[in-house]
Chain A
Amino acid sequence: MGHTITERILARAAGREAVSAGEIVEAKVDLAMGNDITAPLAIAEFEQAGFDKVFDPARVALVPDHFTPNKDIKTAGQVKKMREFARKHGIADFFEIGRVGIEHVILPDLGMVAPGDVVVGADSHTCTYGAVAAFATGVGSTDFAAAMAWGRVWLRVPETLEFVYHGRPGKYVVGKDLMLHTIGLIGVDGALYKAMEFTGEAIEALSMDGRFTMCNMAIEAGGKSGIVGFDETTTQFLQSRPDGSRARVVGQVFASDPDAAFAQVIEIDASAVRPTVAKPHLPSNTVPADELADVRIDQVVVGSCTNGRLADLRQAAEILKGRTVHPDVRLIVLPGSQEVFLAASRDGTMQALVEAGAAFSTPTCGACLGGHMGVLAAGERAVATTNRNFVGRMGHPESEVYLSNPYVAAASAIAGHVATPDMVAAGKGGAR
Chain B
Amino acid sequence: MSSPVLLVASRGGSDDLVHLAADAAGGAELRGVAAFGGTPRALARLLVACARRVGASRIVLESSRRAAEVAAYVAHDLDAGILADVLRVRRDGDVLVGEKRELGGTWDVTCSVAGPVVVLARPAAWDGPVPDVGWLTVEEFEAAEADVRAAAGEGAAIGRDVEPVSIDAHDVEGVALASAAVVVAGGRGLEGDLTPVRALADALGGAVGATRDIVEEEWIGPEAMVGQTGTMIAPRLYVGAGLSGAPHHMLGMRAAETIVAVNLDPEAPIMEVADLAVVGDAAAILTEAAELVRERRGR
**A and B interact physically:** no
Query: Which residues of A are in contact with B by a Cβ distance under 8 Å?
Result: none
